[in-house]
Amino acid sequence: MEKRKSNKYNSYHAVNGVLKENRSLYSTIDLITQTVGEFNAKLDEIDEVAVRTELDTTGETAAKKLAKEKLARFASELAASASVYALETANIELESALQYSYTDLRFAPDNEALHIAMVIEAELLPHREHLEKYLISEEILEELHSGIEAYDKAMVRKGGAKSEQAADFIKLSDLFKEVDHILAKKLDRLVLRLRSQHPTFYDAYSNARMIVDL
C-alpha cells in the first residue's frame, strides 16, 4: 500500500478506535449510530481487500520459474538427442526444427518458451517409433508433455494472481473514496455537533482524523 493510502488507513482505524471507546456518548443518536455503522462496514471491506493487495505473489513466480527451468532443460536435451536421429536419417527439416538450446527456452519470453517446447514435442511425436535408440521413450515423451502442461498452468496461476491483485487495487481506491465521503460529509459534521457537550471526544476524533495529513 502506497504511503498516502497507508496514512489514511491508519487514520481510519484510529477513528474507529475513538468511536468504539466513546460509543456511549452517541449510542442514543440514531443518525450518528447509523453513519458509524456505514463507516465500519466500509472499513471491514477495506481490511479484507487490503490483505489481498499485500499478498506476495512470489510463490507463483517461483513456481513458474521452476517449471520453466525444468522444461527448458528437459526439452532442449530431447531436441539435442533427436537431432542425432535427424542427422543420421538425413532429415534436414527435422534437424533444423530441433535447433533449440537450453538458453533459447530458458531466456525466451514466457509464451515463446512454451511455444518452442510445444514445437519440439510436435516434431518428436511422428518419429516416436524410432527414437528409443536415442534415449527418447514413450514415457519420456509423456514426461515432456507433462512438463509443458505444468509450465502452462504455472503461467496461468501467475497471470491470474496479477490480474486479481490489479482488480483489488482498483476496488481499494474506490473504497477509500467512499470512506472519505462518509467521514468528510457526514461523521466530521455530526461529531462537530457534539463538541460543546463532549470536547474530549471531539478532540480525540479530530486528532485521529489529522493522521491523514502526515
Give the domain ranges of the chain.
Answer: 3-52+164-213, 59-161
Residue 197 C-beta-side C-alpha neighbours within 13 Å: 8
Q: Which pLDDT score is estimated for 57?
A: 43
Q: Is 77 exposed, middle or buried (0-12, 13-18, 19+ CB in 10 A)?
A: middle
Q: Which pLDDT score is estimated for 170?
A: 83
Q: Which pLDDT score is estimated for 173?
A: 87
End-to-end CA distance of the chain: 15
Residues 6+ apart with CB under 8 A from 119: 97, 100
Q: Which pLDDT score is estimated for 158?
A: 52
Q: Which pLDDT score is estimated for 55?
A: 42
Q: Is the dihedral of CA 137, 139, 143, 144 positive or negative?
A: positive
Q: Which pLDDT score is estimated for 6?
A: 80
Residue numbers in the chain where pLDDT is lower than 50: 55-60, 159-161, 213-214
Q: b/e string for 137-169 if b means 16 or more Cβ within 10 A?
A: eeebbeebeebbebbbebbebbeebeeeeeebb
Pairwise CA distance, residues 45 & 167, whole Å? 14
Pairwise CA distance, residues 63 & 86, whole Å? 34
The model's pTM: 0.49
Q: Which pLDDT score is estimated for 64?
A: 81
Is the CB of residue 11 less than 8 Å from the CB of residue 46?
Answer: no
Q: Which pLDDT score is estimated for 163?
A: 54
Reading the block at residue 9, the C-alpha cell is: 488507513
